[in-house]
Amino acid sequence: MNQNNNVKPLDDMRVIEMGQLIAGPFTGSVLAYYGAEVIKIEPPTGDPVRYWRLTENNTSYWWHSVSRNKKSVTLNLKTDKGRQIAKDLILKSDVLIENFKPGTLERWGIGPEDLKKENPGLITARISGYGQTGPKSHLPGYASVCEGFGGFRYVNGFPDRPPVRPNLSIGDTLAGLHAAMGVMLAYIQRQKDPQSKGQVVDTAIYEAVFNMMEAVVPEYSGCGAIREPSGTTITGIAPTNTYITSDDKHVIIGGNGDSIFKRLMIAIDQPEMAEDTRFEHNMGRVEHEKEIDAAIEKWTRAQTSEEVLSTMDEASVPAGPIYSVEDMMNDEHYIARGMFQEVEANGRTLHIPAMIPLLTETPGGTEWSGPELSEHTHEVLSELLGKNAEEIKKLGDEGIL
């Protein structure tokens, strides 16, 4: 739990989250962590992420993290009454997050143009595979597909093998981060000018991936170069690679700065290579990358991983282990930085990751884990919409909640 009582930077923001799965909910997670009141509207059966992957008592462990600090309200958006209640909540809020297929909100009569008539300051974060406009905007787009379309899968892997999928939905998380940034930018603009209207934050998953693609566009535009997959190295920078050690572990060493390279070569007992003019600058090292990597790995194979990292530390050469989650949770640095937070879930303590950045004066924090399905329906409908217990019960009996 958050151990301080500091004011959070977004504690005057109310958000309605109508997103499901990962991208939209991650946007809400970021905002909720830094103080926003996030009301998550779920179908009566719940967001599918509640049940994904490893579960306990039919609830995903992941749910407790991605839905922390949120309030759960169930609404059947397939009904007119359900959509009207959603609209009423949105009209009392600063931000709407949605990641439906483009056009869905418009068909329901609660698109941005419909809503701004009554809530002109509303900020609508719209997350989709391909964005709200363009010839592919109508296509469904999960992160896996958009990582390919955005170029990431092309460069990720080995030259002689099929493209590799990382065992995480990176595209969704990137889209969620970009959408959260967009919401905060729009919110700052609205705060700067009380007369300013809200706006749409249009985030395409493929574009969030594309935004991480470094120099591939100017390199292709400038000389026709196409960045290819490079396995455990990175194109055009050397040496930076993964090396095996005598205890069959892998370490990463990044000796790609000119002065760093010299220190690395001296540390691995290769003083001649440290002074070799062929390796003085990065371009020359790239030309002789295999020779350099062979020298480094010959040395690492004779050392334990601990010995490699200790030697690199003494030489001020960037190096590190490749951690599993078990390694992370036992590492003193992670612990010292407060990267694990405790929540109560299913009657016991569960660790979930903290979020960054770490703010010194107005930090975020975890107040509670992902809520039970419909846990806050009565609270939200009564406090925000003035509905009494009888009215709420009737809505439940009608299948609206």
CB hemisphere CA count around 371 (13 angstroms): 20
One digit per residue, the tens of pLDDT, for the chain of length 401 reads: 444 457 899 999 999 999 899 999 999 999 999 999 999 999 999 999 999 988 888 899 999 999 999 999 999 999 999 999 999 999 999 999 999 999 999 999 999 999 999 999 999 999 999 999 999 999 998 999 999 999 999 999 999 999 999 999 999 999 999 999 999 999 999 999 877 889 999 999 999 999 999 999 999 999 999 999 999 999 999 999 999 999 999 999 999 999 999 999 999 999 999 999 999 999 999 999 999 999 999 999 999 999 999 999 999 999 999 999 999 999 999 999 999 999 998 888 999 999 999 999 999 999 999 999 999 999 999 999 999 999 999 999 999 99
List beta partners, residue 47: none
Answer whether residue 119 is part of any domain.
Answer: yes
Single out the residue of 241, 253, 249, 254 nearest to residue 327, CA to CA: 249
- Are 195 and 131 found together in one domain? yes
CATH number (domain holding residue 311): 3.30.1540.10
CB atoms within 10 A of CB 158: 12
Contact 152, 175 (CB under 8 A): no
* Residue 381: burial class (beta carbons within 10 Å; 0-12, 13-18, 19+): buried
- Are 280 and 393 found together in one domain? no
Gap between the Cα atoms of 401 and 385, Å rounded: 14
Cis omega (within 30 of 0) on the bond before 163? no
- Are 201 and 350 found together in one domain? yes
CATH number (domain holding residue 159): 3.40.50.10540
Written as one letter, the residue type at 68 is R
Residue 19 pLDDT: 86
- Are 87 and 170 found together in one domain? yes
Which DSSP state fits 166?
A: P
Catalytic residue (one of 12, 88, 160, 172): 172
Answer whether residue 194 is part of any domain.
Answer: yes
- Are 168 and 303 found together in one domain? no
Strands 250-254, 319-321: pairing kind: antiparallel
- Are 263 and 382 found together in one domain? no
Strand, helix or coil for residue 31? helix
- Are 158 and 301 found together in one domain? no
Answer whether residue 223 is part of any domain.
Answer: no
Output the CA torsion sign for 320, 325, 326, 332: positive
Output the CA torsion sign for 210, 65, 17, 365: negative
Answer whether residue 233 is part of any domain.
Answer: no
Gap between the Cα atoms of 345 and 72, Å rounded: 15
Domain stop point among 275, 292, 321: 321
Domain stop point among 279, 297, 321: 321
- Are 192 and 294 found together in one domain? no
Measured N-to-C along each axis, helices 80-90 and 377-385 cross at an angle, to the nearest 10 degrees, of 60
Written as one letter, the residue type at 352 is I
CB atoms within 10 A of CB 249: 16
202 assigned to active site: no
Answer whether residue 221 is part of any domain.
Answer: no
Give DSSP secondary structure letters for 297-353. Answer: HHHHTTS-HHHHHHHHHHTT--EEE---HHHHHT-HHHHHTT-EEEEEETTEEEEEE
Residue 54 pLDDT: 82
Residue 2 pLDDT: 44
- Are 268 and 128 found together in one domain? no
Q: Give the domain range for residue 269.
A: 240-244+250-321
- Are 264 and 158 found together in one domain? no
- Are 269 and 303 found together in one domain? yes
- Are 154 and 118 found together in one domain? yes
Answer whether residue 329 is part of any domain.
Answer: no
Residue 5 pLDDT: 58
Gap between the Cα atoms of 13 and 94, Å rounded: 6
Looking at the structure of the chain, the number of domains it has is 2
Answer whether residue 82 is part of any domain.
Answer: yes
Output the CA torsion sign for 28, 34, 36, 40: positive
CA 118 to the chain's CA centroid = 32
pLDDT in tens, 119-168: 999 999 999 999 999 999 999 989 999 999 999 999 999 999 999 999 99
Written as one letter, the residue type at 42 is E
Answer whether residue 227 is part of any domain.
Answer: no
Domain stop point among 321, 348, 381: 321
Single out the residue of 131, 140, 138 nearest to residue 205, CA to CA: 131
Residue 146 pLDDT: 97
CB atoms within 10 A of CB 14: 17
Gap between the Cα atoms of 99 and 19, Å rounded: 5
Single out the residue of 338, 309, 307, 303 nearest to residue 322, CA to CA: 309
Residue 14 pLDDT: 98
